[in-house]
Structure 1
Amino acid sequence: MKSVFILFVFFATAINLLAQQKTYNIVTYTAPNGWTEKAGKGNISYSNIDGGTWAQIVIYKSMASSGNIAADFDKDWNELVAANKTISLPEKTSPKTTEGWMVISGSGTWSYNGAKVTSQLTVYSNGQVSISVLCNSTNKSFLNDYQALLSSMVLNAEKAQLGSDTKNKAEVDGLPAAIHDNSIVGIWIVNQAESNGFINGHLMYTGGYMRKEYQFNDDGTYVFSEKNWLAVKETIYFVYETGTWVMNGNQLTITPKKGEAGWWLKDKVTNDVNKWGIFQEASNYKLQTATYMLEIKIDPNYSNSIILNSKKATQRDGGQLNNPPYRFVYVQRKETLIDNPPGFKL
C-alpha cells in the first residue's frame, strides 16, 4: 500500500506540473501555481494577492531586437515600466549569455496607493528578436515565483512572428497599421520627478519635476508645453508651442506655427512648486517640423501611451544627449499638468 501511495503521489505531482506548462508567443514556461492568469493585448499576465500584498508577472510578446541587448533593455524599461509612473533608475545586471540568448535584468522602486512597489524587468535578446518579462510586487516573497518562472522558460526564436512587430510597423498590441486620426486626440504627458539619491534604500524626492505635454485636438491643431521646476535651479523653464498635426497611415507630422520659451523666477517667498515669480528672460527656442513613426500602447492597468519614433533628436522632445534611434514616450492623461505663467499670451 505504501508503494502504491508513493506512486500515486508521483503521478499526481507530474500531472499537476504538466498542467501548468504554458506556451505564449515564443516562450514555453511553467506558470506560477495559484496565480490568476489573464490574456491581454500583446501580453499574458499572472496576479497574486495575499492579504495586503500583491504581485503581477507579465510576459510580453516578442519584438524585433535592435541588435544590442542594452538598447533593448533601455527601450523596454522606458516603455513598459517607467512611462507610466515615477520610478527610480534601474539597477541593472551585466549582460549574460544563456542558450544563445543575451539577458539583462534590472529593478526599480515606486509608490502605488501608498505601497512601495518593486518592478523587476528581465529582457532576452538573440540579436534578431527580444522578449521581456516584468514582475511588479509589494513583497519580496513573490520574487521566488518570478525567478521560478524565468528558470523554467524555453525560448524558440523560430516561432517569432516579426511581420507585425518590427519597429517600422505601427501595429502594436493588435492595433491596425493604418492608425485613425482620432486615436491620438487628447492629452499625452511626460512627468518626471526630480530626486536626490537614496536614503536607506528609498528614493528621496525634492518636490521638483520635469514635464512635457502634447494636447492633440480633433480639429487638427495641437498645443505643446513644457515646464521644469527643479530644486537645484533658481528659475522655472517654460515652453509653449501651437500648430497643426496630420496623420498619414502610421506617420504623424507636427508643424508648429507659433512658439515661445523662457525662464521665470520662482516664488521666493514660498518656494512653492505651483507658484510663479516674475519673467526673467526669453530662450532661443526654434520651431521644428517633424515627422514621427507613431506607435500606440494599450495598457488597461495604468495608462495608454504613444511612442513617437524619430530619426533625429527634436527641439520639443529632446534626445540631444542620446544616440539614435529616438523613441519618445508620452502617457495619456485626462487633465493637463502644466499651468501657464500669470498673464502669459502667445
Structure 2
Amino acid sequence: MKSIKLIMLCGLLLIVSCKSFAQKQNFDVISYTLPKGWQQQQNGGGMQLSITDKKSGAYAIAIITKASVSSASANENFDNDWAKLVSGTVQVNGNPTISAPTKENGWDIISGGANYTDGGNKGMANLLTATGGGQTMSVVLMTNTKLYQNELSLFLNSLELKKITPNTTTNASTSSSTQTNGSSIVGLWCYNLLETSGYANGYPQYTAGYFRKEYLFKKDGTYIFRTKNWSAWTKEILFVYESGTYVVHGNQVTVIPSQGRGEWWSKKDNKTTLWGSRQKASDFKLEKTTYTFEIKYFSGSNDNVLYLNPNKSTQRDGVYSQDRFSYTARDIDKSPIDNPPGFKVGL
C-alpha cells in the first residue's frame, strides 16, 4: 500500500529488496507478508510478528490489531491508540511526529512515530491507524536496532487494507438503524476480556485470567445475564446470574430482573476451567434498566455487535464512562461461560 509505505517509512529511511518475504497472508481487514525468520502469534486482540537476537537483545515487533467498532474521527482513533498501544507500554520521549493524513481504499490513514525507552533499551515506535466504515484498526512497530529495518520496511510495503465500498458502510449503518425490533436483539451476546499483567518489549503479558459477561435474549421475552471473572490476582472466582423479562420499544430495550445472585467460588488446582466450592455471596442488586441499543455488522471481522447504552453505571454491566457497552453475537451453544457445579436457578 503506497500510502502506508510513504507515511511510515519516513521514520525508517531504508532502501530494500523483496527477497526475504514469503507468501502474503490475510488477517481481519488487512493483508501482509511475514518476513523470513520471524515468528507470529495470534491472540484475541490481534496478530504479533516478532524477531529477537538472543545474543545482543535486539528485537523488532509488529502488532496488527483486529478492526473494532468506532464512531470517532481518524485523529481521535490515532490519539487513543497511541496512548493505549505505545505510550501505555513504553516510555515515549516526547509527542509523536505526525505525518500528513492520507486516504486509501476508503480508509483515512494517520501515522506517527517517536523515540522510546523500555528499561535499558532505546528504540523507535511507529503507529498507523486506519479509520473507515465505522471501524478502526492499527499497526504498531517497535524496534531497538537497525538490524531488522529491511524486514520492517518490506513488511510495511506489503500491507494492504480491504477496500471499503459503499455497501460495506451501508451494511454497518443499516444494521444499527433497522435492527431495532424485538427479534433483532434475540440471541446470545458476549463480552470477553483477557487479563494482562502489563507489557514487555511491546508485548502484552497475558495471565490465564479473563473477564466475561453475556446476555441471552430469548424469543419469549425473557433474558438471562451471566458474569464469570477468573483473575490471576484474586483467590476466588466471581459468578453472577440474573434472569427476568425484557421489553423493546424502538431502539430501546428495558430489562426487568426478577431474580439474581452473585457468588464467590474457590479455584480448583488454579485451573481456569475448574470450579472449587462456593465460598460466599457477592454484593448484587437487581436493577431495572433501560438501554438505548444499536446493532452493527462488520464485514471485516464478520461480527454482529450489540451496543448497550444505559447512560449510567450499572452493577450488571460495570462502570459507565460516556461510552457504550459492547457485546458480540455468538451461537447459542457456544457460550464462554459455564455454571458452577450443582448450580440451580432460584437458589
TM-score > 0.5 by shorter chain: yes
Name the structure 1 match of 2:183: 182
Would you say the 8 A contact 1:178–1:249 is kept in 2? no
Identity %: 37
**1:223-253 CA-partner distances (Å, limit 9, x unpaired):** 1100111111111111000011222111122
* Deviation (angstroms), 1:303: 2.5
How many residues are matched? 252
For 1:222, the equivalent position in structure 2 comes to 223
Partner of 2:287: 288
Tell me, yes or no, if the aligned pair for 1:210 and 1:228 is still in contact at 8 Å: yes
How far apart are the structure 1 equivalents of 2:155 and 2:291?
40
Closer, same or farther: CA 277–203 of 1 in aligned 2, 3 Å:
same
Distance change in 2, residues 1:120/1:244 (3 Å): farther
**What's 1:271 paired with?**
270
CA distance in structure 2 between the partners assigned to 1:237 and 1:46 by the alignment: 37
Query: CA, structure 1 residues 48+220, in 2 after alignment: closer, same or farther (shift >3 Å)?
Result: same
Q: How does 1:88-167 map to 2 (within 5 A)?
A: 90-91=85-86, 94=95, 122=129, 132=136, 134=138, 140=152, 141-144=154-157
What SS does the corresponding residue of 2:298 show, helix, strand or coil? coil
CA distance in 2, matches of 1:193, 1:61: 18
- Give the Cα separation in 1 of the matches to 2:85 and 2:235: 29
Unaligned runs of 5+ in 2: 3-23, 41-46, 48-63, 103-108, 114-125, 142-150
Deviation at 1:208, TM superposition (A): 1.3
Residue in 2 that maps onto 1:5: none
* Conserved? CA contact 2:111–2:127, under 8 Å: no
Alignment partner of 2:173: what SS? Answer: coil
Q: Indicate the residue corresponding to 1:32 in structure 2.
A: none
2:245 touches 2:257 (CA, 8 Å); kept in 1? Answer: yes
- Post-superposition CA distance 1:105-163 (Å, at most 9, x none): 79xxxxxxxxxxxx966268xxxxx98564599x84333465x99xxxxxxxxxxx9xx
Cα distance in structure 2, aligned partners of 1:133 and 1:236? 33
Cα distance in 1 for residues equivalent to 2:189 and 2:128: 24
Q: In structure 1, what residue type is equivalent to 2:316?
A: R
TM-score (norm 2): 0.57
Task: Specify every segment of 5 or more residues in structure 1 that has no aligned partner in the other structure, as ranges.
Answer: 1-16, 18-35, 37-44, 78-88, 107-118, 125-129, 150-160, 166-170
Question: Are the aligned partners of 2:237 and 2:266 in contact in 1 as well (CA < 8 Å)?
Answer: yes
Q: Is 1:327 paired with 2:328?
A: no
Aligned residue for 1:156?
none
Contact 1:286 1:315 in 2 (8 A): yes
Report the TM-score when normalising by structure 1. Answer: 0.57
Assess if the C-alpha contact under 8 Å between 1:262 and 1:282 holds in 2. Answer: yes
Q: Using the alignment, how far apart are the partners of 2:68 and 2:272 within structure 1? A: 38
Instruction: Give the partner amino acid of 2:224.
Output: V
Match of 1:29? none
| Separation of aligned partners in 2, 1:289 and 1:305 | 23
User: Structure 1 stretch 178-187 or stretch 282-291: which is displaced more?
Assistant: 178-187
Please list, as runs of the form range in 1=range in 2, the aligned pairs for 1:1-346 lying within 5 A after superposition: 47=31, 63=71, 70=76, 74=80, 90-91=85-86, 94=95, 122=129, 132=136, 134=138, 140=152, 141-144=154-157, 172-175=172-175, 177-179=177-179, 180-267=181-268, 270-300=269-299, 301-319=301-319, 323=321, 325-334=322-331, 335-345=334-344, 346=346
SS where residue 254 of structure 2 aligns? strand
Residue 196 of structure 1 deviates from its aligned partner by 2.1
Determine if contact 1:46/1:58 at 8 Å carries over to the other structure: no
Q: Deviations over 1:309-346 (max 9, x none)?
A: 231111111125xx3x2311111222111111111222
What's the offset of the Cα at 1:194?
1.5
The 8 Å contact of residues 245 and 252 in structure 1, kept in 2 or not, is answered as yes
Looking at structure 2, the residues matched to 309 and 216 of structure 1 have their Cα atoms a distance apart, in angstroms, of 16
Q: CA deviation at 1:302?
A: 4.4
Mapped contact 1:229–1:235 kept (Cα < 8 A): yes
CA RMSD of aligned residues (A): 4.6
Aligned residue type for 2:129: T
Give me the whole-angstrom Cα distance separating, in 1, the residues matched to 2:233 and 2:157: 40
For 2:295 and 2:272, the matched residues in 1 are separated by 32
